[in-house]
Amino acid sequence: MTKQFALEFPRNEHGWVKFPSDVGLRKELFFPDEVGKHPAKLNLHLQLAMIDYVSEPGQVLLDPTSGTGSLLVGALKGRRVILLEIEEGYHKLQQQAMHNLHEVDPTTQNMVTLIHGDCRFVLPIICDHIMFSPPYAGAMNIKKVRTKREDAPDKFLVEMDRQMLEYSKSQRNLSKLSTFLYGKAMEKIYKLCFESLRPGGTLTIVIKDRIESGERLYLSKWVSKVCHRIGFEDYAWFKWECMGNAFTKIARSQGKETVDDEDIIIYRRPL
């Protein structure tokens, strides 16, 4: 392997990559303002590093649960991009972003495909590389907007609840499933990813462990077991220093255990 991952960025004492905030970069690009308010979008510096590491210009990149559409930056690097999204709200944001992208760089015309639908019904789609950050079980299973809380005086939680309700209307949204049903659904998606990839193609998964009942759940271990069973082989594994969003900061201020790293796991479909 000749490429180095995110070589231009520093590492901390654990060897985790330290990507800077992408707020300024996102504002400079083509994304609608509403995208900047979303709490769980992928860091664009990380996204670009992933694209550079696994792919080459002219190749096809796919995100099966694409949310706000961070992978669109791949078109600026000469990659063809396919985004699948189940939620109409996110799909509309992606349409706005694609329109802006074409205005910023007309050479990206015909390089982006947006599909509004459940990836479990749309895949397989032949592509060279797949990269995504899977949703979490139960993360969007919210019924109402909560009121202002003492531990979040800036109304952050109220705004996050509003966004969750707005962008999780589909009953088939993976984030609404129980842990058991979510696991079954994700196994199916990883299998469809395997079927979509050309031999030698890669699957890049960005995933963060969770804290439940004071215990750390190593989600990456489950992902690794499932992907190996399907037939993927290991390609690379990195971590980046991800101190989290406002939810994590609130927990940290309360003295609770937090997860401060995020896994970047890359598998390959054998040749």
pLDDT in tens, 226-269: 999 999 999 999 999 986 665 666 666 666 777 889 999 999 99
Distance (Å, whole) CA 115 – CA 30: 19
Cα 187 to its chain centre, rounded Å, is 17
Tell the residue number behind the tokens 């190996």, with chain if given: 228
- Tokens of residue 161, six digits: 């609840």
Which pairing describes strands 261-268 and 233-241: parallel, antiparallel, or unpaired?
A: antiparallel
Class of domain 23-137+176-268: alpha beta
Mean pLDDT over residues 199-225, rounded? 91
For the chain, give the mean pLDDT.
Answer: 87
pLDDT interval class at 110 (50, 70, 90): very high
- Is residue 240 within 8 A of residue 46, CB to CB? The reply is yes
Sorted by where each begins, the domain ranges of the chain are 23-137+176-268
Closest CA to 6 of 267, 266, 222, 258: 266
- Tokens of residue 27, six digits: 């504002």
Distance (Å, whole) CA 11 – CA 54: 20
Q: Where are the strands (E) in 147-217, listed by range?
A: 197-207, 210-212, 215-217
